[in-house]
Amino acid sequence: MAKDLKLIPLTQSFYSRSTLEVAGNLLGKYLVREQGRKRWIGRIVEVEAYIGEDDPACHAFHGRTSRTAIMYGPAGHAYIYFTYGMYFMLNVVTEKEDFPAAILIRALEPVSGFSGDDLHPASGPGKLCKSMPIDLSLNGTSLLRKPLWIGKEAHDHSIREIRWSPRIGISAGTEKLWRAYLYGNSYVSRKSNSNHSLSPF
pLDDT in tens, 86-144: 999 999 999 999 999 999 999 999 999 998 899 999 999 999 999 999 999 999 999 99
CA–CA gap between residue 44 and residue 48 (Å, rounded): 11
Query: How much is the pLDDT for 2?
Result: 59
Percent of the chain scoring above 90 in pLDDT: 86
Residues 10/156, Cβ–Cβ less than 8 Å: no
φ, ψ (nearest 5 deg) of residue 34: -120, 130
- The more confident residue out of 131 and 191 is 131
As for how many domains the chain has, the answer is 1
Query: How much is the pLDDT for 150?
Result: 98
For residue 1, give the nearest of 33, 35, 31, 43 by alpha carbon. Answer: 43
Domain for residue 198, yes or no? no
Domain for residue 65, yes or no? yes
Residue 118: what residue type? D
- Classified as helix, coil or strand, 116 is coil
Sequence-ordered strand ranges (E) for 27-95: 30-35, 38-51, 78-83, 87-93
Provide the CATH number for the domain around residue 137. 3.10.300.10
What is the mean predicted confidence (pLDDT) over 73-80?
Answer: 98
Query: How much is the pLDDT for 190?
Result: 85
What's the domain range around 16?
8-182
Confidence check: pLDDT of 1 > 60 = no
- Classified as helix, coil or strand, 91 is strand
CB hemisphere CA count around 147 (13 angstroms): 14
What is the mean predicted confidence (pLDDT) over 58-62?
Answer: 96
Confidence check: pLDDT of 3 > 60 = no
Which residues are bridge partners to 105 per DSSP? 47
The contacts of residue 107 (CB under 8 Å, 6+ apart) are 44, 45, 46, 122, 123, 124, 125, 128, 181, 187, 188, 189
Query: How much is the pLDDT for 46?
Result: 98
Residue 26: what residue type? L
Report the chain's mean pLDDT, rounded to a whole number. 94
Give the predicted TM-score (pTM) of the model: 0.95
Domain for residue 192, yes or no? no
Residue 57: what residue type? A
Percent of the chain scoring above 70 in pLDDT: 97
